[in-house]
């Protein structure tokens, strides 16, 4: 017998479903379908430094974003259709996160803010308030109730327990606000006590208690990350928090990835370096040093320096790159009784280092230099054509250095090369183009990655079939072996003429700042130059910048001037970060690959050729053929293979990330997020 009541219930359900499909408003119909959330961020920009800092972090990480200039008369109106639509019958949220200058930059009663609030509530999208003040509208008490407002220079803030288990778990705990000058205010902000619905992630002492600087305010079905201090993209307090801001905003799933990189190339290994003369204020033996003839002196590591280097590396768990000139070392040996204990020591410890070819004798590989002119110029033949070092001579410099290393049992990657003074590459203004013979010589020797000077050419570019790898020069001079020599040359460059300096700083105020007074040559290096150079290097480390730094073997000799800088960078870093976010110390080739992938990725984003979205726990990423996509996702994420799945990415800073591409017979990357 048929159960009539059961049949009636089935009929009623079917009828109701039919009514829903034709008569219920679209928003209700869509609620039954898992929405698609596009992996892109909306940035509403008021021109302030805080929004610009977050925008820079998104850009440098590889996170796609749409920027709306708040003050532009031609900007789009932020309404429901701007924020969402329907694709293939599925509701689509066009943005996975929203960055605003503050909690409501549109004004009270704004229809745009109402549209954003409704959007965030409907799709579970989060909002960052880049810089606001402490008040109940963002979940904080006013500052007069146990809070503070004013200058924050030198404030010792700390990640709270909630921050350590949440978006800032990669930090060691302390976040010190920069205080680089007692004469210049560097940051201002507010600290407030949390009200119900607010979870503090970063706080600092106020009186006998603590008050919040960064926290999450949950209300009305929405979540805001509230930041109550001003900052710019270069300040250390922002750089420390930047990763966590992006992870919180995107809920740990986004395009792009970030690492903290630090590599140091030591150029001229085995070769001597010319020494600065404090009497002549130039370097005898180098170009353009009037009166330097017969005053030449050199700086070169000893066996004891080599032994110290190996011990230091082990104690710091950090490896330097030995960028070597074997032929220059052999010349020095021949001129010094035929013995060379330093080279013997480095060769004995060869497995402890990475090695990079720096050419055999460090010649200039560009045009033939005419040093009779100041500045030097390129020599030309009778027909007016520039005379260049030949392809055969360049090739021999590369080949002979490789062969010497092989004979000594030194392992190196022959695809990497650093030329002397980055020569062969264009050098403005004297040599406006690359040596036309360089690319062929690189190809002859299998060179794919050639170093360039980041201060001249920060972008990677092609040299024939090779690509450049820009390097940051460190302000630890090649022609100094002692702290006093460093301070003396620094004074010459950065002191005004009235203070006995060269006046270069006065002549180039846009790029250089004069010292208010010369440094004490006995204390100036350690007290002024080292902290400044360590801060500069740390900014690169914390900015997801993989470019290596470079110094010279002279900096490991005599007073061993490099070590105080490296110690400060490494020790400071390891005090600031948890072990989940170690410094990434990679090779020149690995950096070259990273930069080339980033360039291809940025172009694909700019061309609008990347599609990426999340539906529930499934993430889909489509990019042009040959473009590898950077993706970050939570621990436990799986990548879909042709058959089955595999763990996605590599662990870093509490998440998993990787450059990834579709597998065989796949047209897109498909990830399965943990439930």
Question: In the block, which residue shows the tokens 């045009």?
Answer: 367
The per-residue pLDDT for 182 is: 83
> What are φ and ψ of residue 127, in 5° steps?
-130, 135
DSSP state of 526: I
Segment 175-189 mean pLDDT: 91
Q: Are 598 and 629 in contact (CB under 8 A)?
A: no
Q: Which of 568, 538, 576, 569 is closest to 174 using CA atoms?
A: 576
Segment 372-397 mean pLDDT: 95
Taking the C-alpha atoms of residue 410 and residue 352, their distance in angstroms, rounded to an integer, is 10
Residues with Cβ within 8 Å of 322's Cβ and at least 6 positions away in sequence, in order, are: 266, 269, 346, 353, 354, 355, 356
Question: Percentage of residues in the chain with pLDDT exceeding 70?
Answer: 95
Residues with Cβ within 8 Å of 106's Cβ and at least 6 positions away in sequence, in order, are: 112, 113
Segment 526-553 mean pLDDT: 97
Query: What is the H or E stretch that residue 114 is in?
Result: helix 111-123
Q: Are 367 and 431 in contact (CB under 8 A)?
A: yes
pLDDT digits (tens, 9 = 90+) for 35-67: 999 999 999 999 999 999 999 999 999 999 999
Question: In the block, which residue shows the tokens 């002279």?
Answer: 554
Three-class secondary structure assignment of 264-299: EEEEEECCCEECCECCCCECCCCCCCCCCCCCCCEE
The per-residue pLDDT for 76 is: 97
The per-residue pLDDT for 1 is: 39
- Checking if the pLDDT of 560 tops 60, the result is yes
The per-residue pLDDT for 16 is: 34
The per-residue pLDDT for 55 is: 98
CA distances from 347 to 244, 304, 343, 408, 586 (A): 44, 14, 6, 7, 22
Segment 486-503 mean pLDDT: 96
Q: Which of 619, 665, 671, 627 is closest to 648 using CA atoms?
A: 671
Taking the C-alpha atoms of residue 127 and residue 251, their distance in angstroms, rounded to an integer, is 11
The two three-digit tokens of residue 460, written as one number = 């990677």
pLDDT band at residue 27 under the 50/70/90 scheme: very low
Segment 588-617 mean pLDDT: 98
Taking the C-alpha atoms of residue 155 and residue 47, their distance in angstroms, rounded to an integer, is 26
- Checking if the pLDDT of 502 tops 60, the result is yes
CA 464 from chain centre, in angstroms, equals 27
Q: Which of 379, 404, 177, 376 is closest to 271 using CA atoms?
A: 404
Three-class secondary structure assignment of 549-606: EEEEHHHHCCCCCHHHHHHHHHHHHHHHECCCCCCECCCHHHHHHHHHHHHHHHHHHH
Segment 345-363 mean pLDDT: 98
The per-residue pLDDT for 576 is: 97
The per-residue pLDDT for 288 is: 87
DSSP state of 509: T
Question: Percentage of residues in the chain with pLDDT exceeding 90?
Answer: 92
- Checking if the pLDDT of 218 tops 50, the result is yes
CA distances from 166 to 52, 163, 178, 252, 543 (A): 24, 5, 24, 11, 21
- Checking if the pLDDT of 12 tops 60, the result is no
DSSP state of 251: T
Segment 160-175 mean pLDDT: 97
3-state SS class at 429: coil
Q: Which of 284-298, 549-563, 583-597, 617-631 has the lowest mean pLDDT?
A: 284-298
Q: Where are the alpha helices (DSSP H) in 422-470?
A: 438-444
Taking the C-alpha atoms of residue 276 and residue 297, their distance in angstroms, rounded to an integer, is 8
pLDDT band at residue 553 under the 50/70/90 scheme: very high
Mean pLDDT, rounded, of the chain: 94
Taking the C-alpha atoms of residue 179 and residue 159, their distance in angstroms, rounded to an integer, is 19
pLDDT band at residue 355 under the 50/70/90 scheme: very high
The per-residue pLDDT for 127 is: 98
- Checking if the pLDDT of 305 tops 80, the result is yes
The per-residue pLDDT for 675 is: 85
The per-residue pLDDT for 512 is: 84
pLDDT band at residue 321 under the 50/70/90 scheme: very high
Taking the C-alpha atoms of residue 628 and residue 262, their distance in angstroms, rounded to an integer, is 23
- Checking if the pLDDT of 23 tops 60, the result is no
Angle, helix 341-348 to helix 303-316, in steps of 10 degrees: 30
The angle formed by the CA atoms of residues 625, 617 and 216, to the nearest 5 degrees, is: 110
3-state SS class at 241: helix
Q: Are 132 and 103 in contact (CB under 8 A)?
A: yes
Residues with Cβ within 8 Å of 489's Cβ and at least 6 positions away in sequence, in order, are: 276, 278, 477, 479, 480
- Burial pattern 374-383, b for ≥16 Cβ within 10 A else e, equals eebbbeeeee
- Checking if the pLDDT of 25 tops 90, the result is no
The angle formed by the CA atoms of residues 584, 588 and 593, to the nearest 5 degrees, is: 85
Question: In this structure, how many other beta carbons lie within 10 angstroms of the beta carbon of residue 435?
Answer: 26
pLDDT band at residue 30 under the 50/70/90 scheme: very low
pLDDT digits (tens, 9 = 90+) for 452-473: 999 999 999 999 999 999 999 9
pLDDT digits (tens, 9 = 90+) for 484-493: 999 999 999 9
Residues with Cβ within 8 Å of 673's Cβ and at least 6 positions away in sequence, in order, are: 253, 614, 617, 618, 619, 633, 634, 636, 637
CA distances from 170 to 164, 247, 431, 637 (A): 8, 11, 46, 19
Q: Are 396 and 449 in contact (CB under 8 A)?
A: no
pLDDT band at residue 354 under the 50/70/90 scheme: very high
Taking the C-alpha atoms of residue 500 and residue 508, their distance in angstroms, rounded to an integer, is 17
The two three-digit tokens of residue 433, written as one number = 């183009």
The per-residue pLDDT for 398 is: 98
pLDDT band at residue 523 under the 50/70/90 scheme: very high
Taking the C-alpha atoms of residue 421 and residue 448, their distance in angstroms, rounded to an integer, is 18
Q: Are 53 and 632 in contact (CB under 8 A)?
A: no
Q: Are 645 and 675 in contact (CB under 8 A)?
A: no
Polymer length in residues for the chain = 675
Q: Which of 516, 512, 519 is closest to 486 using CA atoms?
A: 519
Q: Are 366 and 428 in contact (CB under 8 A)?
A: no
DSSP string for residues in 534-546:
HHHHHHHHTTT--
């Amino acid at each position: 017998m048929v159960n009539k009541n059961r049949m009636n219930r089935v009929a009623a359900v079917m009828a109701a479903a039919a009514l829903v499909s034709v008569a219920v408003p679209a928003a209700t119909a869509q609620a039954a379908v898992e929405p698609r959330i596009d992996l892109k961020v909306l940035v509403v920009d008021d021109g302030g430094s805080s929004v610009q800092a977050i925008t820079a972090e998104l850009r440098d990480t590889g996170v796609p974003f749409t920027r709306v200039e708040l003050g532009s008369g031609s900007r789009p109106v932020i309404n429901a259709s701007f924020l969402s639509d329907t694709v293939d019958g599925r509701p689509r949220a066009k943005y996975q996160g929203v960055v605003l200058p503050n909690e409501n930059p549109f004004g009270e009663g704004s229809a745009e803010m109402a549209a954003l609030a409704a959007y965030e509530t409907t799709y579970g999208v989060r909002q960052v308030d880049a810089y606001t003040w402490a008040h109940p509208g963002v979940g904080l008490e006013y500052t007069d109730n146990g809070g503070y407002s004013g200058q924050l220079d030198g404030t010792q803030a700390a990640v709270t327990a909630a921050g350590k288990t949440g978006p800032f778990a990669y930090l060691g705990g302390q976040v010190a606000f920069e205080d680089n000058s007692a004469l210049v205010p560097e940051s201002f902000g507010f600290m407030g006590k949390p009200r119900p619905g607010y979870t503090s992630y970063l706080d600092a002492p106020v009186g006998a208690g603590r008050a919040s600087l960064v926290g999450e305010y949950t209300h009305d079905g929405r979540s805001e990350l509230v930041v109550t201090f001003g900052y710019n993209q270069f300040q250390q307090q922002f750089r420390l928090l930047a990763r966590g801001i992006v992870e919180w905003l995107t809920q740990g799933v986004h395009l792009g990835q970030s690492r903290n990189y630090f590599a140091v190339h030591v150029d001229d290994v085995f070769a001597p370096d010319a020494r600065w003369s404090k009497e002549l204020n130039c370097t005898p033996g180098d170009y353009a040093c009037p009166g330097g003839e017969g005053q030449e002196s050199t700086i070169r590591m000893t066996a004891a320096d080599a032994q110290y280097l190996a011990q230091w590396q082990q104690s710091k768990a950090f490896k330097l790159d030995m960028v070597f000139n074997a032929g220059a070392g052999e010349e020095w040996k021949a001129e010094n009784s035929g013995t060379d204990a330093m080279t013997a020591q480095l060769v004995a410890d060869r497995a402890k280092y990475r090695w990079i070819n720096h050419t055999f004798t460090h010649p200039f590989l560009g045009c033939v230099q005419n040093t009779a002119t100041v500045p030097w110029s390129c020599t030309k033949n009778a027909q007016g054509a520039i005379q260049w070092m030949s392809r055969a001579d360049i090739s021999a410099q590369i080949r002979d250095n490789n062969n010497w290393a092989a004979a000594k049992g030194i392992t190196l990657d022959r695809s990497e090369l650093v030329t002397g003074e980055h020569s062969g590459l264009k050098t403005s203004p004297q040599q406006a183009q690359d040596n036309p013979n360089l690319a062929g010589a690189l190809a002859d020797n299998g060179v794919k990655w050639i170093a360039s000077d980041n201060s001249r050419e920060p972008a990677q570019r092609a040299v024939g079939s090779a690509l450049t790898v820009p390097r940051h020069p460190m302000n630890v001079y090649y022609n100094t072996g002692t702290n006093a020599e460093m301070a003396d040359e620094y004074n010459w460059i950065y002191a005004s003429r009235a203070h006995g300096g060269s006046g270069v700083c006065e002549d180039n105020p846009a790029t250089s700042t004069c010292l208010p007074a010369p440094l004490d040559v006995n204390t100036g290096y350690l007290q002024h130059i080292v902290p400044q150079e360590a801060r500069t290097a740390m900014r690169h480390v914390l900015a997801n910048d993989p470019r290596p730094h470079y110094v010279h073997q002279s900096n490991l000799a005599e007073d061993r001037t490099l070590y105080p800088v490296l110690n400060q960078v490494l020790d400071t870093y390891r005090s600031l970060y948890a072990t989940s976010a170690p410094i990434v110390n990679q090779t020149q080739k690995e950096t070259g690959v990273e930069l080339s992938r980033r360039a291809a990725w940025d172009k694909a984003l700019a061309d609008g050729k990347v599609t990426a979205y999340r539906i529930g726990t499934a993430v889909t990423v489509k990019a042009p053929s040959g473009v590898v996509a950077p993706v970050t996702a939570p621990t436990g994420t799986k990548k879909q293979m042709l058959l089955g799945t595999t763990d996605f990415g590599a662990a870093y800073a509490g998440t998993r990330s990787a450059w990834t591409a579709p597998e065989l017979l796949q047209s897109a990357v498909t990830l399965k997020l943990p439930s």
